[in-house]
Amino acid sequence: MGEYALHVDHLSVTFHTEAGSVEAVRDVSLALKKGEILALAGESGCGKSVLCRSLVKLLPAYAAITSGTITVHDTDITAYTDTQMQALRGKTIAMVFQNPLTTLNPSMTMGAQLREALIRKEKLSRQEADERAVELLHLVGISDGEHRLHMLPQAFSGGQRQRCALAIALAASPDILLADEPTTALDVTVQMQILDLLKHLRDVMGLSILFITHDLGVVARLADRVAIMYAGKIVEIGTADEIFYDARHPYTWGLLQALPSAVGPGERLQAIPGMPPYLAPPPAGDAFAARNPYALAIDYETAPPFFSVSPTHEAATWLLDPRAPKIPQPAWLQKRG
C-alpha cells in the first residue's frame, strides 16, 4: 500500500456554459497523505469546491474532467461509473459541506437519519444501528445521544448540526474526509470546536482530511500541509509552517497580509487589490500577473513552473527562477520567521 490516501495528477475540469468554456480546475496535481490534514485555501471562485467535487464526481452534467487522473488508495477511479462511485462515496470517501442542512433532512429525527445511513451502508439491524448511532454521536462530541436521537435537526444549534452531519458522514467508517468550508457559517468559538473535533477524528480514526477554506486563519490551527489555489491552479504548497512563515508566492503573501494576525495595533487589514481573472478562457501566462506588484514581463507570456524551495515546499512563481531579480519577502513576513 502506498503512502497516499488520494492523489490527483494533472487534473483539469471544464464547465461548458453558454458564455463559453470555463476552465475551473487547470492541471492540478495534489496528494493527500494517509492520516494527514491537508488544507486547500484560496479566495472565493478559485476552484476549490470544483476540485473537491470532481474527486467524488459530484459535478453537474455540463462539467467534465478533461484530463488527468484521480487515484484512491492506489486504484485509478477516473473512469469509475456512477454505480462504482456510489459505492466509494461514504464507504471510502465522505464529504461534509458548509451548510449541514444540505445533508440533514429537516423532517426526520437525527436518530432516523443516522439509522438510515447505518442500515443502508453498514447493513446493520435496527437495534445495532441505534447502538452505533449513539456511539457516533458520542464520537462527534454530542453527549446524551439516546435522548438527542429523538430530536429533529432544528432542535440542534449550528455547531451541533455540523457535528451530526459529520456523524452521518462517518457512519460507514470512511478513511478519507473531504470537508468543504465546514466551519464557515459558524461563529468563531464554535468554529474552533469543530476544528478541534476534526483533529480528534483524524487522531482516533486515522482519517485523511482534505479541508477546503477561503480563510487561512482557520488553517493555522488545523493543517499539517497547505495548498494555495488561484484561478484553477495550485500556486504554492508546503507544510503549514512553510506557508505561514516562509511563503514564496506573492499571492500567498497577499492572503497572509489579509489576516487579522498580520497587522499590528492601529494598522489596516490589506485585501489583495483587483479581482481573480475570468477563466473563459484563462489569461496567457501567470493568471496572477495582473494583481501582482512584482510581476515580470515573462509572467504575461508564460505560466511559471513549480520551483522547489525545500523537499516539502514548492511555489509556481517566476520570482524563484535563478534569473529573476531578487525580491525580498515582505518585512512583516520576515519578522515572523
**Binding residue (CB under 6 A) for ligand ATP from 48, 121, 148, 249:** 48
**Binding residue (CB under 6 A) for ligand ATP from 44, 107, 127, 189:** 44
Residues binding ligand ATP: number (CB under 6 A): 15
Residue 305 in the binding site for ligand ATP (CB under 6 A) = no
Binding marks (x or -) toward ligand ATP, 50..79, rule CB under 6 A? x---------x-------------------
Q: Of 37-45, 105-113, 238-246, 298-306, which part binds ligand ATP (CB under 6 A)?
A: 37-45
Residue 182 in the binding site for ligand ATP (CB under 6 A) = no
Binding marks (x or -) toward ligand ATP, 211..240, rule CB under 6 A? ---x--------------------------
**Binding residue (CB under 6 A) for ligand ATP from 14, 15, 121, 177:** 15
Nearest CB to ligand ATP, comparing residues 96 and 319: 96
Residue 200 in the binding site for ligand ATP (CB under 6 A) = no
**Binding residue (CB under 6 A) for ligand ATP from 8, 24, 114, 295:** 24
Q: Is the distance from CB of 16 to CB of 203 less than 8 angstroms? A: no
Where do contacts with ligand ATP occur on this chain (CB under 6 A)?
15, 17, 22, 24, 42, 44-50, 60, 214, 279
